[in-house]
Chains A and B, each alone.
Chain A
Amino acid sequence: MARVTIELYGIPRLRAGVASVTVRAASVREALVALGQQHPCLEGSIVCQGLPVPAYRVALNGDLAPLPNAQTLRDGDVLLLLATDAGG
């Protein structure tokens, strides 16, 4: 499994109290499951069984193109957990 960093912004960062989390995961889905396990305060409201809730999305290495949850991850990949409502 790959060693992956998940960067948190906004509400997830506020709730988890950390700017980033390192997990071991083979896919985006596994990474988000691991995130929910490490920070149960995010499970249900931010991620739900490996999927972001509709108000959130995940970007891989700064690329904002839609990402399949089964996307395979490699060592060093960085996932950004972002609110879908950008701007203001």
Chain B
Amino acid sequence: MFWVRVFALSVPGYHGRYLRIDAQSACAECVPLRSATLQRWIGGVGLGVRLLMLENRPGIDPLAPDSALIVALSPLVGSPLTTSAKFAVVGKSPLTQRVCDALSSSHFALAAKRAGVDALVIRGAWTRPVVLLIDGQDRDVPLVTLRDARDLWGLPAAETETRLRATLGPEWHIAAIGPAGEALIPFATISHDGRHAGRGGLGAVLGSKRVKALAVRGNRRTALADPAQVVRLARDLSARSFGPATEKYRELGTVANLLVFNRLDALPTRNFASGQFEAAEALAAVDLAPARRLARKSCAACTIGCEHLYPSRDGSAVRLEYESLFALGPLCGVSDPTVVLEAAALCDRLGLDTISTGGTIAFAMEAARRGWLDPGLPSGRRLVFGDGAALLEAIGLIVTRNALGALLSLGCRRLAETLGGAAPDHAMHVKGLELPGYDPRALHAMALGLAVAARGADHNRSGAYEADFAGQTHRRQGDHRSAAAAIDAEDRAALIDSLILCKFLRGTIPNLYQTAAVMLSAVTGWTFQPDDLLSRARAIVDLRRAFNEREGATPAEDTLPPALLSDTDDPTDPTPRLSRDRLHSLLAAYYQQRGWTPDGWLPAHRRAELLAEIEEPPLRG
């Protein structure tokens, strides 16, 4: 591997360049980033999607060699601001064929930033498994070398990390794929230190390049424009992060959602047949947390400490979040917490997104119940709701594509299309991404958020459920206020994911745009105004929409699975419903308030404006 030296003007918070590594040309080069680009797209998801627009040609197969995979950092990475050690992985999803941005966190983000770049772009495919070593230690420009990864191929991501750090040294930090990424499963994850860039299958994109892992190290720190102010802000944010607004995450973790959602008919159960699970108490957080918990962990540079580790059947520690608990528990009708922990551990070892895994298996259980699918498993068990052993066996089949695994490996949308008939109506996805653990029939603002989200059914890019749960909107009679709430949640997420900060801080930051403007100004020295940041957040939402339109997306994709929609939705009915008419009204209000065309397209002038910025000629040093 050769590298080309290209200078870039570093500004506080940024290195002012990204590193493009291309297998086809066996070349790595540093590409300068304009100040205007950084000011506009900030970092993380914003910068990542902007680079994806530039680096990917329209209509590309996500698993084709020249499909770009991007790791984007941000100006706050490496600062003392709590929870800022995060990175965004961005690419075109093999599951949805749409934009995908998945976040993860901890030391990999810090080391990648210290390698001396604001983003990594990986293109091409190697002929044999490799680890990309990106070394910015004592160098102006990072050196990229390859390590043969044939000895690591087949290993879980965690074991890959352990082995590489044992040989490379503790200053190296690694993001790796597991067997699912190697097998190009379209919902494979990229993992670092037990945390996963989970949704949308970007692990398969890395696997298609035969890159088992990215290893980074470096000691190039970016300056802070106003270090004293940044320290003051960091102290304040840390103090607030210790308060009652984050206590739930510290003491119980996100699994505490389960009983609340169940009480409010919002806990998806048996492939969304119901919003209540009769055995929810068996999986309750209070049962899981004090008696079973092994340990609590934090990401690097985080003062919240939301990660709760539980013992699996073999004694190893398993991290469990609400989304994994819901998807591998109630969604599949499973009530045994030991099985759910084992299923979550298995997904982690294989490198599978737990939501898509549970969502696909739950759909297969429903298809089997309806007679559309032979539920036979190699052991002789049958894939039926509530059978934990069958769930575990099915997960194990996905990566090998043995027997039923060949169908399960497709994800629920393609599996349903394969079965045909009425099956697609019952596949619980939006744009191909399996639904998270929020029943949209009981949460109408969230229903809209799920329908319009650019990467598909998504609780992290749209937190509209906050408005539903807070009573700011009528959760079972959504209207224009639900649309406003969905837009607000989407815009806020676009900014938080570009800064990048942890969303668990949201309850501690009363005015996000004001606070973010102060933070960014102190870090970069540029002057940011709250209104400018709102405009930038909206531009990021529009850019994702523009990417999807470029890939052939139409507003018809902004919908929910037909089986979730009803003819009427009388709010006095004890069973929560969402009618087709109401969803259409919500969409119309959303498009109108977003400033898109009445039928849901980006206005031509807006698209042209976004593309013009993307297509500016590159800077050369």
**Given the known A-B contacts A80-B263, A86-B465, are A11 and B251 also in contact in the complex, defined by CB atoms under 8 Å?**
yes
Measured CA separation A59–B470 after assembly (Å): 10
Shortest CB-to-CB span from B448 to chain A, Å, is 15
**Given the known A-B contacts A9-B256, A14-B252, are A55 and B470 also in contact in the complex, defined by CB atoms under 8 Å?**
no
- Contact status A53-B244, CB under 8 Å: yes
Which residues of B lie under 8 Å from residue A80 when comparing CB positions? 260, 263
Which residues of B lie under 8 Å from residue A63 when comparing CB positions? 471
- Contact status A64-B459, CB under 8 Å: no
Q: Is B594 an interface residue (CB 8 A)?
A: no
Q: Per a CB cutoff under 8 Å, which of A9, A56, A59, A62 touches B259?
A: A9
Q: Is A68 an interface residue (CB 8 A)?
A: no
Within 8 A of A (CB), among B240-279: 243-249, 251-252, 254, 256-257, 259-260, 263-264
A85 (CB) vs chain B CBs: closest residue? B507
- Contact status B257-A84, CB under 8 Å: no
B503 (CB) vs chain A CBs: closest residue? A88
- Contact status A59-B459, CB under 8 Å: no
Which residues of B lie under 8 Å from residue A56 when comparing CB positions? 244
Question: How many residues of B sit at the interface, in one of the four size bands?
Answer: 35 or more
Q: Is B364 an interface residue (CB 8 A)?
A: no
A-contact bits for B61-84, CB 8 A (1 contact / 0 none): 000000000000000000000000
- Contact status B465-A87, CB under 8 Å: yes
Measured CA separation A86–B470 after assembly (Å): 8
A14 (CB) vs chain B CBs: closest residue? B286
Which residues of B lie under 8 Å from residue A45 when comparing CB positions? 244
Q: Per a CB cutoff under 8 Å, which of A14, A65, A87 touches B257?
A: A87
Measured CA separation A70–B475 after assembly (Å): 24
Q: Per a CB cutoff under 8 Å, which of A7, A10, A86, A87 touches B252?
A: A10
B281 (CB) vs chain A CBs: closest residue? A19
- Contact status A54-B257, CB under 8 Å: no
Which residues of A lie under 8 Å from residue B507 when comparing CB positions? 55, 84-85
Q: Label chain B's interface by main secondary structure.
A: helix
Q: Label chain A's interface by main secondary structure.
A: loop
Q: Is B606 an interface residue (CB 8 A)?
A: no
Measured CA separation A14–B370 after assembly (Å): 41
Q: Is A33 an interface residue (CB 8 A)?
A: no
Question: How many residues of A sit at the interface, in one of the four size bands?
Answer: 20 to 34
B465 (CB) vs chain A CBs: closest residue? A87
- Contact status B254-A55, CB under 8 Å: no
Q: Is A3 an interface residue (CB 8 A)?
A: no
Q: Per a CB cutoff under 8 Å, which of B244, B264, B286 touches A64?
A: B264
Measured CA separation A59–B256 after assembly (Å): 17
Which residues of A lie under 8 Å from residue B252 when comparing CB positions? 10-11, 14
B245 (CB) vs chain A CBs: closest residue? A55
B247 (CB) vs chain A CBs: closest residue? A11
- Contact status B260-A9, CB under 8 Å: yes
Q: Is B180 an interface residue (CB 8 A)?
A: no
Measured CA separation A40–B392 after assembly (Å): 44
**Given the known A-B contacts A10-B252, A10-B260, A11-B247, are A66 and B471 also in contact in the complex, defined by CB atoms under 8 Å?**
yes
B323 (CB) vs chain A CBs: closest residue? A88
- Contact status A11-B248, CB under 8 Å: yes
B322 (CB) vs chain A CBs: closest residue? A88
Q: Is A39 an interface residue (CB 8 A)?
A: no
Measured CA separation A54–B247 after assembly (Å): 12
Measured CA separation A65–B244 after assembly (Å): 22
Measured CA separation A85–B243 after assembly (Å): 12
Which residues of B lie under 8 Å from residue A9 when comparing CB positions? 256, 259-260, 263
- Contact status B244-A54, CB under 8 Å: yes
Shortest CB-to-CB span from A53 to chain B, Å, is 6
Q: Is A82 an interface residue (CB 8 A)?
A: yes
- Contact status B245-A86, CB under 8 Å: no
Measured CA separation A45–B251 after assembly (Å): 14
Q: Is B469 an interface residue (CB 8 A)?
A: yes
Q: Is A83 an interface residue (CB 8 A)?
A: yes
Q: Is A24 an interface residue (CB 8 A)?
A: no
Measured CA separation A41–B243 after assembly (Å): 17
When A and B form their complex, which 8 residue pairs have the shortest distance between CB atoms, in order from nearest?
A88-B254, A86-B469, A55-B244, A64-B471, A10-B256, A85-B507, A65-B471, A9-B260
Instruction: Enumerate 21 A-B pairs (CB-CB under 8 Å) in ascending A order.
Output: A10-B252, A10-B285, A11-B248, A11-B251, A53-B244, A54-B244, A55-B243, A62-B264, A63-B471, A64-B468, A64-B475, A66-B471, A83-B248, A85-B246, A85-B248, A86-B465, A86-B466, A87-B438, A88-B254, A88-B322, A88-B503
Binding site for A on B (CB under 8 A): 243-249, 251-252, 254, 256-257, 259-260, 263-264, 285-286, 289-290, 306, 321-322, 438, 459, 463, 465-466, 468-471, 474-475, 503-504, 506-507
